[in-house]
A and B are shown apart, each in its own frame.
Chain A
Amino acid sequence: MAHLSNQSHHAETPDHEDRIEIGSLTPHFQAHGFPWKQVLGYVASLLLTALAFVLVMNHVLPPTALIAVILVLAVLQAMLQLGVFMHLRESRGSAWQVIVLGLGFFMAAGLIIASVWIMMFKAGVS
């Protein structure tokens, strides 16, 4: 790699490593025409929500299964929001937020599940 900084100019050449890494996750972004992506995202989110409500209101499944299903729906909905509205993969340089957020979700789930597990205690005295 050439000695970039020798001909460096503040605004033009990479002063920073991540600008060289760019291209690893380029933003896809659409600015023309009708915002189809947003509209479809909205409709999908409404459908997912309605599904969850309807399932619960009509008690279509036994409670435990029902809870599992609505949690799955919630996760789908979260992924939808992240992808459509939050432009998760867009960034300048490597998309570090994907890694950090992924870890965050992992930890969050671990925290909740493990806490419940820990607090269940020994079932009585053996």
Chain B
Amino acid sequence: MPKRHSPRGRHRYWLTLAIALGLTVSGCGQQYVVLHPKGPVATSELNLLILASVAMALVIIPVWMLFAYTLVRFRDNPRHEGVFVPKWQSSRLLEILLFVVPLIIVAVIAVPTVQKTYALDRLPPKKDPVVINVTSLDWKWLFQYPGQHIATVNYIEIPAGKPVLFELTADSPMNTFWIPQLGGMEYTMPGEVLPLWLEANKPGVYMGRSGQFSGTGFVHMVFSVKAVSSAAFNSWVQQVKTTAPGMSLATYHSIVKIGTMGHESFSSYPAGIFPTTTHGFTLTGSSPMKMP
């Protein structure tokens, strides 16, 4: 397993830089959710963002300066004086330079991009993650905890410090599942189940939303994520199991109906509403088709 995080020291250095950047640009604020990660995935993505931004700044700022200088120095004046080389149109050295430097910068971004793309695709080798099956519906989020056999709508609780594996699908038009402070988004699509793992570093409440338009109620596809200690998580599960109502197939069908919903929890859910095989998935979700 390759190291997924950069050494602490450099990490903090970049973070400070980011914060300084954020501060100067727009005034500091926690509202820059992407810049204030609360988990390893989001942090890793932010680090890459910063690396790439710095690399881009190294290109852009010199070019801007060169450009501004050119405009001032070579502007036409009434007496047409100054350097004037109307036929100058090539310079081998310059051309090689202008090709090689961007190539290097692209390489500097591309190599970690490839590394991280692979790394973030793999669950960290910590033992058994919490699995949450996510189904996007019009216009609400249905969460099932197959390990705990409970279900919730529009909110989840997760244990902090432990990876959570989300398995994403849809019984509706597409959406994306996004909790900016924990990490990037992934699509929920009918007929496919996509995995996404995230983790919260410490307890807190994080906003989640959909990033893919799915109709008039799409803005209401927000959910909250409450990260709590493992113990608190277990007792929450127990509480849901004992106090919440069960979900029958009829309840599920009423949830599927178009409309928005508040937070709900259920002590059980009917079998088979989350697909185990993909393709040929039916709308009701109740009779997933076998791949031939």
Contacts and interface: CB of A to CB of B under 8 A. Distances in A.
Interface string B161-194: 0000101000000000000000000000000111
Is the interface on chain A under 10, 10 to 19, 20 to 34, or 35 or more residues? under 10
Contacts of B167: 125
- Interface range for B: 10 to 19
Contacts of B54: none
Interface string A93-126: 0000000000000000000000000000110111
Nearest to B189: A121
B2 to A, nearest CB: 14
A121 B121 contact: no
Interface in B253-292: 278
A126 B121 contact: yes
A125 B165 contact: yes
B195 interface: yes
B122 interface: yes
A126 B195 contact: yes
Q: For the complex, would chain A's binding face be called helix, strand, loop or mixed by DSSP majority?
A: loop
B192 A126 contact: no
Contacts of B193: 125
Contacts of A125: 165, 167, 193, 195
B33 interface: no
B123 interface: yes
A122 B165 contact: no
A121 B121 CA distance: 12
Interface string B95-111: 00000000000000000
A13 B229 CA distance: 88
A81 to B, nearest CB: 35
Complex A-B, nearest 9 residue pairs according to Cβ-Cβ distance, in ascending order: A125-B195, A126-B122, A126-B123, A121-B192, A125-B167, A125-B165, A122-B195, A126-B121, A126-B195
15 contacts: A121-B192, A121-B194, A121-B278, A122-B121, A122-B194, A122-B195, A124-B195, A125-B165, A125-B167, A125-B193, A125-B195, A126-B121, A126-B122, A126-B123, A126-B195
